[in-house]
Each structure stands twice: as structure tokens, then as C-alpha cells.
Structure 1
Amino acid sequence: MKAYERHVRLAQRKGRIPAVSVAVHRADRPLWTFQIGCDADSRFRIGSITKTFTAVLVLQCRDDGLLDLDEPIGKYLDVPAHGDVTIARLLSHRAGLQREPHGDMWDTLRAPDDEELLATLDRAERVLPPGRRTHYSNLAYGLLGRLVAQLRDQPWAAALAGRVLEPLGLAATTLEPTSRAVPGYLVDAYSDHARREPVLECRGLAPAAQLWSTAADMARWAGFLADPSTVDPTGAVLASSTVDEMRYPRAVADESRWYAAFGLGLNVVPQAGNDRILHVGHGGAMPGFLAAAYGRRGGDGVPPGLGVASLGSSGTGAEVMQLAHTLLTTVVADDPADLEPWRPGEPAPADLRSALGRWWGEGFEYVFFWCDGRLRAREVGDPPSLPPAVFVPVDGRPDVLRTESGREAGELLRLTRDDAGAVVRMHWATYRFTRGQEAFDGTVASEPG
């Protein structure tokens, strides 16, 4: 824990941040928190981390059959302009809408209310063609909040409280600042003076940036985004498969440098030099505040439900943004998940035993094996970090399985048997798999050409 604490102290000192609050959530250890200049119950503005909550509300509507992500928002919400952009593109910042609503909100420090947001939408530009590339938009999330309110027939804030915050026990996450709120500051670049920043009420942009919270709540939220089965085991908020869908990259943040991507409301950040390790979550910025909440997926030793939040009371203390990523890496290095012992399992079903072992397809060698109640396959030489393909039976179709995940996900695996019932040939995604290496015309590779 001293290593965690030192990382926080270094970030606070280097970033000159008046107050910092950090938390590490994991399902196999007690919550760890550390603060400088505040206490564990201090509330910070979390800015755009709010967008991840709005995205979950939208996906809940989809799962409840209230919308289709690939349909235009105008099908569900009466808008005076831009009604043709799809909900999926709004979620992933690919709708091409300008960043903010019409007007000079950052000069006046007055955000439009719900009615103004819609009334002035025809004055907001489409700065890029939809789907062309990533263009971050707070306006898009204001519209998504209105969409949720329309479909749920209640205010966005009420839907958030009843459908997300309460089921997950995020009692310290609120729409408005409480008596525990810390002030936000702008720290002078040429002295140690910290000047208080004004508090902006987001009003119609609340679904994009309004929320206040603690590090403990946000670390738990990050754990949910990375590993929902540990935080929400019954799927009361969202099915794990839907959170998987949210994490899937839809567009890179920068087309010339693939350092991060946007999923459906989530940032996906590959970790340089580490095979298949991703940090998923979001950062946030508001006058006087910076925040980050990320969970970790992939790699050896990652604890279940690992999430970290770092919250700071300075709009210029950018070190707080990297701190969450640094702590995620440090946790795994210093205190990895406990190793579960290997235990003998059940044998493969009789009808699949002859399918186990080595097969060749497209000139490459594969191993098909039985583990945890599923037929699986991986190419010989695949790195251990690459998940195998996993197959499930297709109801009513003997000797046909579907690839549930991994390589060729969604494709069929067909088994061909000899007269004795042994599997002698397979077709996976229509490619032929045989026990020996064969050319595409069926001749054995070792035979003379």
C-alpha cells in the first residue's frame, strides 16, 4: 500500500493539486482509499465520467426493447435538426455534431436547459459527416439524456438514481453538490496561488457532465465497467454481455495514433508494451476539477472487479488523469489476484472425444480441447493471452456447433463422422479441417507435387 500512497503523493505534488482522493476497488480485497487535503467522504465533480452513466441508461433502453442503436434518434425524440444521426454514433462520438450546444456557454457560464437544448439544435453545426471519424460532443450526450427521459417518461436524473445508482449502492454519487463538496481551483502557473473556480450548473447538459461523487463510488463504478459480474452479479443494472458490447471499440480517438478508442460511451485504452491489456472507463474535466475512473481487463494476475478512481480539485492538475492508469498497473504488479489451483474436471462428452486433439486448416495446425464444459480451439503458437475459440451446440442440429467467442465468433463448426461415428473431418467457417496437413485440393502436403 505504501507504493500506492507514494504514487498519489507524487501526482499531488507534481500537479500542485489542493485536494486529491483516490480509491482502489477489487472484489478480492477490502477497498483501499487515500486522500490529501480532504477525507474519504469528500465529493468531487466528475465531469464527463457522467457520460458512462448516460450510456448505460441508453443500453438499458435498448435491452428493454425501447430503441435500436442503429436507428436515428429522430425516430424516438422530436428534434428540429440532426434527427438522422444514429444513437450508436451519438454514443461513440461519431455523429459529427459540434462539441457544445449553440452559444458561448463557457463565456456566460450558463448552460441551456432541456427546452433550450432542443430549441437551438437547428443552430448547431454538423461539423463532420456522420461516421467519418471521432469528434467528441457534449451536445450529443445532452440529446441522449433527453432520449432516456422521453423513453422512460421521467427525468434523466430520476432514471439514473432508480436504475443505476441505487441498485449498485452508489449513494455518494449525486446530481448536486452536498455539504461534503470540495471547492475546485485554478492553480496559477507562476505562483502557488489557487483561485476558486465557479460552479457551472450543466442543466440540459447534465447527462454529459453534471455528477459529483467520491473516489470510492467511482472506483466501484470502474470495477463494474470492467467486470460487471463481480459488482452486479444478478445483472440488475445491465447484462455482462451488454457491458462487453459497450467496451468494443467503435472508432479510434486519433486515426494516426491508435492510443485509445471509443466504444459505446466508454474509453478503451490499450496499455503500451502489454499484450491484450485494456483500461476501460472515462476521464472528466470541469472548472476546478479533473477526474479519472478506469477498470482493467486482460493480462495475468488482474484481480476480479479491479477499478481505480482518482479525483482532484484542480482544473490544471493533469497528473490526476494518469494516476488511475498508474495505480491499475501497480496493483497488478504488487498484489496480483490469488492463483486458483488446477483441479481435475469432467471428461468430454462421448460424441466429442474423437474431435479432440490436433487438426489442420488452411495449412496451419490447431488444437481442439475440452475445458470447463465447452469445446475449445486455438491455433498452435497462439500467445497464451489470446482467448481460445469457444463452441456451443446448435439446438436441433446434431454435429453442428456455433463459435460463441474468440476466433471466428458467430461462425459454425460442422463435424463429419465415419461409419464408426468418429469425427474424421470438420468445417469451421466453411474451411476444411483435417487430421493431416492438406492443400486446398485435398492432397496431403507431404506428397510430391
Structure 2
Amino acid sequence: MSGAQDRLERLVRRVQAQARVPAVAAALHRADRPLWTCEVGQTGNDTVLGPQTRFRIGSVTKTFTSVLVMQCRDDGLLDLDDPIGRHLDLPAHGDLTVRRLLSHTAGLQREPYGDVWDTLRAPDVDELVADLARAERVLPTGRRYHYSNLGMALLGRLVGARRGGTWAEVLTERVLTPLGLAATSVTPGPAAATGFLVDAYSDEAHPEPPTDFGAVGPAAQLWSTATDMARWAAFLADPAALDPAGAVLAPSTLDEMRWPVTTTDETSWAAGFGLGLILLPYPERVVHVGHDGAMPGFLAAVYGRRGGDGTAGAMGCAVLGSSGTAAEVLELPHRLLAAAAEHDPAAIEPWRPGEPAPGPLRGMLGRWWGEGFEYVFSWHDGTLRARGADDPAGKPPAVFAPLADRPDVFRTVSGREVGELLRLTRDEHGTVVRMHWATYRFTRHQETFDRYDFRAG
């Protein structure tokens, strides 16, 4: 075992022992290394703990439902700003939009009507819909983040209705099978760990009752292995690596899902929420994207890593535990991802000479001034780019794409001023003497807004 792998295993073993988790399974997926797995403890039944052991993953299920919703959007079956009542016959709350429900900003109450966690009986589809009239709008729509299992259950119902099947059928056909997640299912299967509540003041571990979440399944029903979930986390972080043809979802759609819609706390901006995904920022422009899960007897945390020095492609980690109270399980994948990037970093690819910039653009490369600040325009990897002269090294540049029908006009496709136009102005000799980016004037020398040239002055 390498030193880096030994370090990862010790992290897992420490959490299992100190947090007193009957069984912990962890897996780390990355494009440049074999899959790493580690299991510590016992299943609590007559099956052997191993990479094939399934755990309840709880609300990690929401990430799958969210991907299914975005598939429907990409296929033209709905718009994110559609009221859900446009597609489902609902007795109440039909005005809530798909986007608000995905981002938990709809203001809908957290759970279905009734005491689900007392009875452990979830409603079926007919009951869920009928009881909507008794469910509250606990906050004004768009006011703030408010987590809602009920909202995600409605989105699962929406997916099934638009695809002509059940949520579970659509999930298997359109996500699990294409990505090879054969150990992920709505039922535990024959090789599942038992979930426990570990007593706070003794070593007793009491098994929790099994639960079927019925119509609320799209929010929390799934079972899976750490191996499958590490692969899923890698997909959420780097979909092009696991799904190069975009059969499940286009990388640009995952980019959209990862954009923060809201913060989860108004004073401590330690976490954001996108379209169905939790976003955790770290120093050096690193973000972990995924979701946590909690069900009676189980905790799960599934996250992919993006950005930062040492981060490998398709880097995802999952930690699944058979205790409902060991919160350390939820922090562990973040520690494993950070340790892997630090102690077993991705290789640094060598730089290689590339093709020169097209002739009409060569003369405009270099330093320009806009709004009193200096920028550097360059040509790399076949694209025109720009970045502030004082930008930190890790900050992504703005990238431009030419407009086929408008010479010397480019669209900003990523980075600063994304979506805005860049227009080049040439003199009678064809030299670019001025540019306008998002309508702001850019010149070769620093100028005031009324065109006072400091070099001339």
C-alpha cells in the first residue's frame, strides 16, 4: 500500500473507531488512478462487509432526481421557469416553479402533510397529491433557502409524468444503466448493511426499522455502494470524463446545476445550493459538489472535487456509514479528497507548442486597458482569451468564440462577462485600434472615460 493510500485508510479507520460507526465504506474515484476502496467494521447481519455492501444513501437520491429533471429540460419537455402545475394536476402549490423546487427556494414545507417520522409511513402518490392542499407555504417563494423533501417528491412525480413511467423506471433507464451504476437501486438487495442508532452513553447499537419512502422516494429512497457513489460524485464534478458523449447529461447542463442559486446560511456563507446540488467552497478556488444523506440508521456523503492544484480529473469520493448519528461520516469525504489532492496530486502535464493565432488576430494580442485597469489578451488552445493583468494564477480567463455571421465580433463563452460581446475596431490598415467588451472601451493605453490618454498627456 502506498503512503498516500495508507493515509486515506487511517482517516477512515479513525472515524469508524472514534465516531463508533458499526460499518463504514469509503471509495475514491479519479481518472488517473485505480479505484480506491476501504471498508471497516461489520454489516450487523450475516453478510460480509465489502465493496459490494449497500447502504441507504438518503438525500443523495435528490441529485439523481435533479439530473432527471434537467434531462427533461434539455429534451424540451419542460422549462425550469414553468409552474409545476402546468405539467401536473395539483390541488395546491401548482404555481411553484421547477427552478424554485430544485433549489429549495420555493418556500414549501419540509415534509409531506402528517407525522411521517413518527409513523414511518410515507404517502403513496395519490395521498401525496391529495394532501398538498393541507401542506403549507412556510415562507414566501424566493425569500430564502428552505429544504423540502416534499418539493423533491413533486419533482420526481413530474419526471415520471413527462417520461411516461414511474420515477424509479425512468431513473434506471436514463441514469443508472448508462453510467454503469448497477449496485444502485430503490431496494437494499441481498448484500445490505443494517442501520443502527448507537447509544450516546454505552456501546449498544440498536437496529433501526427498515423504511420505504413511497411517493417521497425521489427525495431519499436509494441504496448504493461506496464504489457506485464515488463514480456518481465523479460524474457530478467532471461529466465529460465519465459520459463523453453526453448521453446522460451535457457538461454544460452540469455547469448550470453547479452554479450557486442561494446560500444556505445568511451570515456564514460556507455552503451554497445550486439546482439540486450542495456546493462547498474551499481555498484556492476548490469546490466540492454533491450531497449528504440521512435516513434512520444511515448517513452518507457523496462529493466530487473541482479546481485547485493537485485535483485529478473525474475526482469523486463517497463515504457511507451504518449509524444515524455519526456526523463525522459527513465530513470524511472532504478530508479524503483534500488528502488525496495534497499527498497524491495529479501529474502536471507538460506544456507543448500549439498553433499560432489566426492572422487577423495576431496584432491585437497583448496588453489593453479598460475602465482604468490593464488586461492581457492572448491565444491559447485554439481560443482567444483575456485576463486581468493582476489576476491570481488560478483564476480562469475569459474565453471568446467568434460569431460566424459578424466579422470581428466575439461572444464571451466563459469567465468574466460571460455572454457579453467583444467587438474589434480596425483602422484603414486593418490594425485593431480599439475594442468594446460588454460596451466598455478598451484601448492600448490607459485612458479616462472622456478619452484622456495618459501617455499623450
Both proteins in one fold, TM over 0.5: yes
Matched, 1:363 2:372: yes
SS in 2 for 1:416: strand
Specify the code of the residue in structure 1 equivalent to 2:406.
R
The separation in 1 between residues aligned to 2:267 and 2:451, in whole angstroms, is 43
1:239-258 matches, cutoff 5 A:
239-258=250-269
| Structure 2 equivalent of residue 27 of structure 1 | 31
- Stretches of 4+ moved more than 4 A in 1? none
Aligned counterpart in structure 2 of residue 219 of structure 1, from 230, 248, 269: 230
| Structure 2 equivalent of residue 388 of structure 1 | 397
Specify the code of the residue in structure 2 equivalent to 1:283.
D
The separation in 2 between residues aligned to 1:114 and 1:249, in whole angstroms, is 31
Matched, 1:73 2:84: yes
Q: What is the deviation of 1:446?
A: 4.4
Matched, 1:123 2:127: no
Specify the code of the residue in structure 1 equivalent to 2:316.
G
Q: What is the deviation of 1:445?
A: 2.2
1:149-168 matches, cutoff 5 A:
149-168=160-179
| Structure 2 equivalent of residue 231 of structure 1 | 242
The separation in 2 between residues aligned to 1:44 and 1:75, in whole angstroms, is 36
SS in 1 for 2:106: coil
| Structure 2 equivalent of residue 103 of structure 1 | 114
Aligned counterpart in structure 1 of residue 16 of structure 2, from 1, 5, 12: 12
Specify the code of the residue in structure 2 equivalent to 1:84.
D
TM superposition score normalised by structure 1: 0.99
| Structure 1 equivalent of residue 44 of structure 2 | none
Q: What is the deviation of 1:161?
A: 0.1
Q: Is the 8 A contact 2:445 2:455 kept in 1?
A: no
Matched, 1:310 2:322: no
| Structure 2 equivalent of residue 174 of structure 1 | 185
Q: Which runs of 5+ in 2 are unaligned?
A: 42-48
| Structure 2 equivalent of residue 339 of structure 1 | 348
| Structure 2 equivalent of residue 375 of structure 1 | 384
The separation in 1 between residues aligned to 2:126 and 2:75, in whole angstroms, is 27
The separation in 2 between residues aligned to 1:334 and 1:114, in whole angstroms, is 49
Q: What is the deviation of 1:256?
A: 1.1
Q: Is the 8 A contact 2:96 2:106 kept in 1?
A: yes
Identity of aligned residues (%): 65
Aligned counterpart in structure 2 of residue 3 of structure 1, from 7, 13, 17: 7
Name the Cα RMSD after superposition: 0.7
Matched, 1:413 2:422: yes
Specify the code of the residue in structure 1 equivalent to 2:287.
L
Aligned counterpart in structure 2 of residue 291 of structure 1, from 290, 293, 300: 300
SS in 2 for 1:432: strand
Specify the code of the residue in structure 2 equivalent to 1:401.
F
SS in 1 for 2:189: coil
1:348-359 matches, cutoff 5 A:
348-359=357-368
The separation in 2 between residues aligned to 1:188 and 1:315, in whole angstroms, is 11
The separation in 2 between residues aligned to 1:150 and 1:255, in whole angstroms, is 36
The separation in 1 between residues aligned to 2:6 and 2:110, in whole angstroms, is 41
SS in 2 for 1:50: helix
Aligned counterpart in structure 2 of residue 426 of structure 1, from 419, 430, 435: 435
Specify the code of the residue in structure 2 equivalent to 1:146.
R
Q: What is the deviation of 1:275?
A: 2.3
Query: 1:344-403: per-residue Cα shift (whole Å, max 9, x none)?
Result: 001000010111000000110000000000000001010111100000101210110111
Q: Is the 8 A contact 2:100 2:142 kept in 1?
A: yes
| Structure 2 equivalent of residue 300 of structure 1 | 309
Q: Which runs of 5+ in 1 are unaligned?
A: none
The separation in 1 between residues aligned to 2:314 and 2:36, in whole angstroms, is 13
Q: What is the deviation of 1:419?
A: 1.2
The separation in 1 between residues aligned to 2:206 and 2:228, in whole angstroms, is 27
Specify the code of the residue in structure 1 equivalent to 2:217.
A
The separation in 2 between residues aligned to 1:102 and 1:314, in whole angstroms, is 27
Matched, 1:145 2:145: no
| Structure 2 equivalent of residue 270 of structure 1 | 281
Specify the code of the residue in structure 2 equivalent to 1:145.
G
SS in 2 for 1:198: coil
The separation in 2 between residues aligned to 1:229 and 1:357, in whole angstroms, is 32
Query: 1:205-226: per-residue Cα shift (whole Å, max 9, x none)?
Result: 0000000000000000000000
The separation in 2 between residues aligned to 1:442 and 1:415, in whole angstroms, is 17
Matched, 1:196 2:207: yes
SS in 2 for 1:120: helix
Aligned CA distance change for structure 1 residues 254 and 302 (closer, same or farther; 3 Å): same
Q: What is the deviation of 1:53?
A: 0.2
The separation in 2 between residues aligned to 1:214 and 1:32, in whole angstroms, is 13
The separation in 2 between residues aligned to 1:70 and 1:275, in whole angstroms, is 34
